[in-house]
Structure 1
């Protein structure tokens, strides 16, 4: 808002500083886009890109019809995948609950020392993808279901703890004060005042994470962590595209069922 010579106010949509910042933002956005394009262009073989539609059509034609008889080989890996997701989720929950209470400002014993450590655990867990966790664990403890379970668990800690500590911070403090006024201990305050308030959120978060872990568990076998990924890797290695299509069908069906179960449970607890 500026004044003209006759003292009449002159409305302006942006101040000079805001306009300058907007132009600087656009400049850096264009600069980053140009640099990113150059980096991508240096590492891209455009002859392969131009041939990609033909290759996709060729591979797609080899996938159909799916090898329906191959499904008998997928039941055991599918069961392994479900176990990896379920046990990994349980492992994540076990460690996420104390981390969440230590990270929440209204339950942590120390906002200066303990809470930063808990937040660091959450960030570290969420920053590393489950596939990378699986790669590390396969190298440390060897291939198999255990590596997949631990990888899913480590990945789940940050997700569950972050949402849970946010739910803890949003509780009604008047209920906490009412229980504390009766002379209840710290554990009793948590048991009778905090847990009942966060329990619906806890179940919703846990089931949602299990649903996500079903998806992530299907590919951990690509790095030797068990499940359907092992069969997928074997079929890809032998170019058995109709088997790959059958594995995709099984994965799709599993994800749809897990999504349905997750939605029903969330409706029941929320």
Structure 2
């Protein structure tokens, strides 16, 4: 292990017996975990299917080409629905995430002991459940359709936006807050003139970035009945219409690329 000399050069010293044992014990745990995971994977894997996978890939690829371009006229509305799910879900998520973020930040929460833990719990709960699981639950409650997809995207977005935003709130320059307080400003005025202006660039960047992520996630929500282009993908897969599947893949890829470009340009313009 190296230590620094006065001139900044490294002086190497032999590890102590305790450090050596801890190092060996750590490697032993890592190897044991790898062996356990490998055995678990082997128990649940049918290797005859794995060996046949290259032939299946070639066969499906051959069936998927060429794409059925005439099917494109039926994809415009599902694609528009997907964009609506992502956009409306993001807006709804922002509406719910902003107050949660202010309640979670140490310098803006009304109670560090009671309110902040609840806000943190909301953020963690939102981030721990995937949007596909939210959609599956909401479809069983609200029925299939766009509403379930929008709410699923919103619930998933709360944790992402809330976490990044409350961290940005905690990292603001407190000298500006003190300067506004010195003028005798009220709490709402401090929020308007000292805190919000500092976090607006971060807030805009976080929101656009989350919208870009939601575009990708909303493309698969139709697999569980939440509407959008994923619903057409599910129908095409169920009927083994592989040329339609390849076209849907191309449309999804193009949509994600365009949304990524828009997101990058907007973030660059704001930040």
TM-score range, shorter chain: over 0.9
CA distance in 2, matches of 1:205, 1:59: 39
* 1:180-259 pair list within 5 angstroms: 180-259=181-260
CA distance in 1, matches of 2:21, 2:109: 43
How much does 1:29 deviate? 1.0
CA distance in 1, matches of 2:58, 2:147: 38
Corresponding residue number in structure 2 for 1:167: 168
SS in 2 for 1:122: helix
SS in 1 for 2:71: helix
CA distance in 1, matches of 2:60, 2:49: 15
Larger deviation: 180-189 or 158-167?
A: 180-189
How much does 1:110 deviate? 1.1
Q: What do the CA deviations read for 1:114-152 (whole angstroms, capped 9, x no partner)?
A: 111111111000000000000000011111000000000
How much does 1:40 deviate? 1.1
SS in 2 for 1:184: coil
Runs of 4+ in 1 over 3 A off after TM superposition: none
Q: What do the CA deviations read for 1:34-66 (whole angstroms, capped 9, x no partner)?
A: 111111111111100000000001001111111
SS in 1 for 2:135: helix
Corresponding residue number in structure 2 for 1:134: 135
State the TM-score, normalized to the length of structure 1. 0.95
SS in 1 for 2:106: coil
Corresponding residue number in structure 1 for 2:90: 89
CA distance in 1, matches of 2:215, 2:128: 19
CA distance in 1, matches of 2:96, 2:143: 23
How much does 1:268 deviate? 0.8
Provide the alpha-carbon RMSD of the alignment. Answer: 1.1
5+ residue gaps, structure 2, are: 2-10
State the TM-score, normalized to the length of structure 2. 0.95
Structure 1 pair 43–196 and aligned structure 2 pair: CA distance change class (3 A): same
Q: What do the CA deviations read for 1:169-202 (whole angstroms, capped 9, x no partner)?
A: 1100000011111111111111110000000000
CA distance in 1, matches of 2:118, 2:23: 37
Structure 1 pair 97–13 and aligned structure 2 pair: CA distance change class (3 A): farther
* 1:95-106 pair list within 5 angstroms: 95-106=96-107
5+ residue gaps, structure 1, are: 2-9
How much does 1:83 deviate? 0.2
Corresponding residue number in structure 2 for 1:6: none
Whether 2:134 is the aligned partner of 1:144: answer: no
